[in-house]
Structure 1
Amino acid sequence: MTGPTVPMATEPEPAAGWAPTRALGRAVLLAGLLLVAGVLLGRVDLIVLAAPLALGTAYALRRRPTALPQVWVTQGEGGPLVEGGDVTAAVSVGNPDTVDYDLVVVRSRVSPWLRIVRAGFARNDAVEDAPPSTTAATGATVPANTRRSVADRPFVTSVPTGAVVDLELAGNALRWGRHPVGPAGARVATAGGLLVSRAVITEPVRVRVYPRTEPFEAVEAMPRAAGLVGAHHSRRPGEGGELAGVRRFGPGDRLRRIDWRVSLRARQLHVAATLSDRDAEVVVLLDVLAEAGRSGGVSGAASVLDTTVRATAAIAEHYLHRGDRVSLLEYGPAARRLRPAAGRRQYLTVLEWLLDVRVHPSSHEPYDQVFGPQLLSSDALVVVLTPLLDERSAQMLARLARAGRFVVAVDTLPTDLPSPKDRGWAEVAYRLWRLDRDVMIGQLREHGVPVVRWAGAGSLDLVLRDVARLATAPRVGGR
């Protein structure tokens, strides 16, 4: 009678996600062949040669991993990141296992608009940077005047038990937007290189890069200030800093407004009358129907979208600093809108809103989404940033002018837009398109729409002066 079978004690199998390497297969195969050959041939030397291989393999596999590595991406600390600023990020690899990771291969994708010039591993607040010639070691650097990134290569290190190693990335932000760092992945080899894990991939982290604000000033008054408080002088009497004259004292006048010189001379109390200071609403309308030019980053050529976003940030910063209310609106199929508001919080909201501006070519006529009375106030100054590449953009400007709006068109088409290199009909067609576009701009000016090219400081000063004069003149046409 036989008793119950007692299972033999065996080593636990590797956790899910771990697999044997070719080195383990070669070691087992070679040791087995030497042992079989030594037994069959009766040669002790072959058994002696196989013993170290078998013992070494068994010793390396005495402790097997039970958990996969942990990988995550973090953005460096600091204030708001602007184009041309320094960007830092880190790809971290943690070892939650009880077995040391003998070899860790880390690789991460980085947006081409984030030029990484220095990368290196940091452990216990110590950065281990390799020389510039090292490509697959603990770190790498490149000269700062190149466009090449060092993040698109594998980096190798080791991670002890319960430790975390950071692959620190440092470089520059070349363009505005939300740029991903990642996805990042890591593969680990342990047990003397006999076991390897599957690739552990983590989700990317979006680095927010705000557009660089170009210097912009507009000293001319707004066409019509409709708010209650602000920095623009209206023609209505009230509390303000602009002197409107001297008049006799009346009920409700404040004592600090008394002009004692005139009062003593006239034997009656007189007060200094002032004009009220009022704020205005500025609507920046972004034409996102077409794109032209190639973006070269903060230090290169600017495309239509680059000029549009940077000019919008500059205009919004200027008028919000003066206490005006600013709203944003896209002229496109999405018709995204930012509600009018004032203050620094609105400026930060504008920068966040601009990060999601994209070109949306569409055959849809976005008139209804843009010209609603709840979106455009009758007293607002509408600054339209458009490349005038689509006929619908010109029709939109003409429609705003016919509705009696105060409109200023800012031409965002690059001045250095290259002409077709092919000889023949392509160059002729390009010249005809340029002539047709110039004719369209002339027609817009005839309809009372000033068109000015964006050139930074003072771009809109003369145009706003003309618009302010038109605002004081009698207006013909319905709203």
Structure 2
Amino acid sequence: MPGPRRPAGQTDTGPAAEAPAEWAPTRALGRAVLLTGLLLLAGALLGRVDLVVLAAPFAIGTAYALRRRPVHPPEVAVDAEDTNLVEGGALTGAVTVGNLDEVGYDLVVVRAAVSPWLRIDDVRFAPDGVDADATAAAPAGAGEPTPVRPGRRNPLDRPYALTAPAGTAVDLSLAGESLRWGRHSVGPAVVRAAACDGLLVSQPVIGERRMVAVYPVTEPFDADEAMPRAAGLVGGHRSRRPGEGGELAGVRIFGPGDRLRRIDWRVSLRARQLHVAAMLSDRDAEVVLLLDVLAEAGRSGGIRGSASVLDTCVRSAAAIAEHYLHRGDRVSMLEYGPAARRLRPATGRRQYLTVLEWLLDVRVEQSPFEPYDHVFGPHLLSSNALVVVLTPLVDQRSAAMLARLARSGRIVVAVDTLPASATPPGRAKWSEVAYRLWRLDRENTIGQLREHGVPVVEWAGAGSLDLVLRDVARLASAPRPALR
């Protein structure tokens, strides 16, 4: 059980400060005292014994109910299982209400807030030693407890009533589904308890919320083409430089420094001179995933609904990062926006988990300033890196940024993340015409980027970048004319 929670509104003002009462009388207690007093007063003034006898049950019942009063307020804790939780995965959690007092609670009312991207399908409660599936929590004022039917709105928006005997804890078990990536909250939960036959009620006790990390679902992605530039020392890509690798480059005459195991004996016996097999080195590459967070478009419907620009951007970035990290390449992340967040390049499974955590904090941030200079410093972006820009091409600064990257000599590939279902928010008279004109202007911008050597491709899952990387690799391997 967690430590006791401070009732809502309670603050510490010093060691000598008087703590507010944690239990307050209810209206039922006030009515019982008032009715008993009126009957006794009327019986004394009128000299009627029957009124005194009529007041006796109220006085005795109130005194008997208050013979043992609770001292401690109820405790509440919110818990949620967030281990490897992805979009569409099952969510389990619990709201635990504890009673450390020697007096049982006649009624405990629980109400909790849940993120709209976490759908709660089933709510059940069970005391200590009772299976949670054997009983279900009932809303306050309902009759027999029944489980919540899936597909309805969040059931925790309404209060749930249960009982908590002395010295026990009751778990309000939650079961549902995560609908969208991000950091979502379960809670806070508010609990109030009634004791002494409803004559005393506790102050509201608030349990802190629990944040749940939901990772984006990895869309299928595969790129079979080689990297345009492989500049590392080791890796899984064939480079154009000779070295120790698995790709045969040719046969040449033996020279100083060549290893004996590289001698090609067939060619050497035929030419009567030692020859060795020349190999191409296997090197890794650095992939920079640049996320344009200047604008958002479309409406997010979760894992089973429509995807917004941010949804497509995050999910495709996770898929591309997983693919290249699995091949042993170094992957880094950059944000094109006011915050200019950056994740350093690294490789391995640890980097993949770091990328997923980094993507959870991606937010759209609008700014009137140009974020290019403080994002693409010479020490942040390698000249040999493959820069994959995930952008909706809604802001004009995004197109200018792509053009500047291409003019700097870097290998740039733009992935269009604007969903086809994106429509203008309003339904005015000329909204459809304005939207068509905006689409035509955007297509002209994409055409100008392609003329500047920036390939623009729509994200379509597996094989989205194969044709583009093939053309880029040919341009990178083509001989460059010498300047005289």
Same fold, TM exceeding 0.5?
yes
Q: Kindly provide the CA deviation profile for residues 416-441 of structure 1, in whole angstroms up to 9, marking residues without a partner as x.
A: 12256635322221111111111111
Distance of 1:235 and 1:128 partners within structure 2:
64
Report the CA distance between 1:51 and its aligned residue. Answer: 1.4
Q: Kindly provide the CA deviation profile for residues 256-275 of structure 1, in whole angstroms up to 9, marking residues without a partner as x.
A: 43434444444554433221
Identical columns (%): 72
Q: Partner letter of residue 110 of structure 2?
A: V
Q: Which residue of 2 aligns with 1:9?
A: none
Distance of 2:67 and 2:316 partners within structure 1:
65
Q: Which residue of 2 aligns with 1:96?
A: 100
Checking the alignment, whether the CA contact within 8 Å between 2:127 and 2:164 is kept in structure 1 is no
Q: Which residue of 1 aligns with 2:115?
A: 111
Q: Partner letter of residue 111 of structure 2?
A: R
1:220 aligned to 2:194?
A: no
Q: Which residue of 1 aligns with 2:205?
A: 200
- Identify the range of structure 1 (44-53 vs 439-448) with the bigger mean alpha-carbon deviation: 44-53
Checking the alignment, whether the CA contact within 8 Å between 2:87 and 2:303 is kept in structure 1 is yes
Distance of 2:170 and 2:268 partners within structure 1:
81
Checking the alignment, whether the CA contact within 8 Å between 2:225 and 2:469 is kept in structure 1 is yes
Distance of 1:477 and 1:181 partners within structure 2:
63
Distance of 1:295 and 1:48 partners within structure 2:
69
Residue 155 of structure 1, aligned match among 137, 160, 163: 160
Q: What is the SS of the residue equivalent to 1:369?
A: coil
Taking the TM superposition and a 5 Å limit, the aligned residue runs for 1:397-412 are 397-412=402-417
1:334 aligned to 2:339?
A: yes
Distance of 1:417 and 1:140 partners within structure 2:
41
- Identify the range of structure 1 (150-159 vs 83-92) with the bigger mean alpha-carbon deviation: 150-159
Q: Which residue of 1 aligns with 2:297?
A: 292
TM-score, normalising length: structure 1: 0.92
1:457 aligned to 2:462?
A: yes
Segments of 5+ residues of structure 1 without an aligned counterpart are 1-13
Q: Which residue of 2 aligns with 1:393?
A: 398
1:424 aligned to 2:429?
A: yes
Q: What's the C-alpha RMSD, in Å, of the aligned pairs? A: 2.3
Residue 20 of structure 1, aligned match among 12, 18, 25: 25
Checking the alignment, whether the CA contact within 8 Å between 2:218 and 2:319 is kept in structure 1 is yes
Residue 284 of structure 2, aligned match among 268, 279, 283: 279
Q: Kindly provide the CA deviation profile for residues 63-115 of structure 1, in whole angstroms up to 9, marking residues without a partner as x.
A: 11211111111112x63100000011111111122221111101100000000
Segments of 5+ residues of structure 2 without an aligned counterpart are 1-18
Q: Which residue of 2 aligns with 1:8?
A: none
Distance of 2:267 and 2:152 partners within structure 1:
71
Q: Which residue of 1 aligns with 2:85?
A: 81
Q: Partner letter of residue 344 of structure 1?
A: R
Q: Which residue of 1 aligns with 2:15?
A: none
Q: What is the SS of the residue equivalent to 2:353?
A: helix
Distance of 2:441 and 2:58 partners within structure 1:
82
Residue 178 of structure 1, aligned match among 178, 183, 195: 183
Distance of 2:214 and 2:207 partners within structure 1:
22
Distance of 1:106 and 1:401 partners within structure 2:
58
Q: Partner letter of residue 414 of structure 1?
A: P
Q: Kindly provide the CA deviation profile for residues 342-396 of structure 1, in whole angstroms up to 9, marking residues without a partner as x.
A: 0100000000000000000110110111220111100000000000111000000
Q: Which residue of 1 aligns with 2:62?
A: 57
Q: Which residue of 1 aligns with 2:16?
A: none
Distance of 1:122 and 1:193 partners within structure 2:
22
Q: Kindly provide the CA deviation profile for residues 35-82 of structure 1, in whole angstroms up to 9, marking residues without a partner as x.
A: 222233333332222212111111111111211111111112x63100
Q: Partner letter of residue 96 of structure 1?
A: L
Q: What is the SS of the residue equivalent to 1:370?
A: coil
**Shift in CA distance, 45/128, structure 1 to aligned 2, threshold 3 Å:** farther
Checking the alignment, whether the CA contact within 8 Å between 1:136 and 1:153 is kept in structure 2 is no
Q: Kindly provide the CA deviation profile for residues 155-198 of structure 1, in whole angstroms up to 9, marking residues without a partner as x.
A: 11111222211111110000000001111110010111100011
TM-score, normalising length: structure 2: 0.91
**Shift in CA distance, 240/293, structure 1 to aligned 2, threshold 3 Å:** same
Distance of 1:283 and 1:274 partners within structure 2:
28
Q: What is the SS of the residue equivalent to 2:132?
A: strand
Distance of 1:459 and 1:418 partners within structure 2:
24
Q: What is the SS of the residue equivalent to 2:234?
A: coil
